[in-house]
């Protein structure tokens, strides 16, 4: 529980120099690489898909932490797993019922990778309690998913405390507006994985930025 997993979001990287920017965070002490997949339907933005993820796998040394902000995530688990995802996180809000969520968690794990679930800011913490023992990770969004650079919403981070009380061992990740100040709030609530994009990639000293989060 003491180790804080830092997962820089490549959404804030320079896509014209993606290999360089991946190496920069690897050399600076990042633990995972966070890949935001958006479809323009579930969230109002379009980012990268399976081919780019597969290309990243060829050059990245770090585990790929793939966050699916998409409709019908079940259709894309196998392609992303085969592309090299080490963790696949889907959204609670993208699935119609609890049975399908349990099936999806099992399906992700069948590829020998970690299964994560994410909840959006307006989703209450208690909806995820029944899934915690099956999940490897629960991602609490601290901004509305879709775009980087948004302001941190502390009331969303407060959900972490409730989730941590229910499960001491699960990885609880937060994503949105994370910096050297907001990370302290999150860690006090029980977070052990931080996603940061702008704070890391726009920093003059990436190693120092990552270290400040740890």
- Domains by residue range for the chain, with CATH: 5-213 (3.20.20.70)
pLDDT of residue 150: 78
pLDDT for the residue numbered 2: 66
Q: What one-character-per-residue DSSP string does 160-181 give?
A: HHHHHHH-SSSEEEEESS--TT
d(CA 171, CA 138): 6
Task: Determine contact, residues 29/6, Cβ cutoff 8 Å.
Answer: yes
Determine whether 141 is exposed, middle or buried from the number of CB atoms within 10 Å of its CB (0-12, 13-18, 19+): buried
- pLDDT tens, residue order, the chain (214 aa): 469 999 999 999 999 999 999 999 999 999 999 999 999 899 988 899 999 999 999 999 999 999 999 999 999 999 999 999 999 999 999 999 999 999 999 999 999 999 999 999 999 999 999 999 999 999 999 998 877 677 899 999 999 999 999 999 999 999 999 999 999 999 999 999 999 999 999 999 999 999 999 9
Rounded distance between C-alpha atoms, residue 174 and residue 120, angstroms: 11
Q: Is 27 designated active site?
A: no
Catalytic residue (choose from 36, 39, 65, 136): 36
DSSP 147: -
Is 36 assigned a catalytic role?
yes
Torsion angle of alpha carbons 37, 42, 43, 44, nearest 10°? 110
The set of residues, in sequence order, having a beta carbon less than 8 Å from that of 28 and lying 6+ positions away, is 206, 207, 209, 210
The answer to whether the CB of 8 falls within 8 A of the CB of 34 is yes
Catalytic residue among 21, 31, 136, 175: 175
């Amino acid at each position: 529980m003491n180790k804080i997993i830092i997962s820089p979001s490549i959404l804030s990287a320079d896509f014209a120099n993606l290999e360089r920017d991946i190496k920069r965070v690897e050399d600076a002490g990042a633990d995972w690489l966070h890949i935001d997949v958006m479809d323009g339907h579930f969230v109002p933005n379009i980012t990268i898909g399976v081919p780019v993820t597969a290309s990243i796998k060829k050059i990245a040394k770090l585990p790929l932490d793939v966050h699916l902000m998409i409709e019908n995530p079940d259709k894309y688990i196998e392609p992303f797993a085969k592309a090299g995802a080490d963790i696949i996180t889907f959204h609670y809000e993208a699935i119609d019922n609890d049975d399908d969520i349990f099936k999806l968690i099992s399906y992700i794990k069948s590829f020998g990778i970690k299964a994560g679930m994410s909840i959006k800011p307006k989703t209450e913490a208690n909806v995820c309690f029944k899934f915690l023992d099956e999940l490897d990770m629960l991602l609490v969004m601290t901004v509305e998913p879709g775009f980087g650079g948004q302001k941190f919403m502390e009331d969303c981070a407060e959900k972490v405390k409730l989730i941590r009380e229910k499960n001491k061992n699960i990885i609880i990740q937060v994503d949105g507006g994370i910096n050297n100040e907001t990370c302290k709030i999150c860690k006090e609530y029980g977070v052990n994985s931080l996603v940061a994009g702008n704070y890391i990639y726009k920093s003059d000293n990436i190693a120092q930025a990552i270290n400040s989060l740890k």
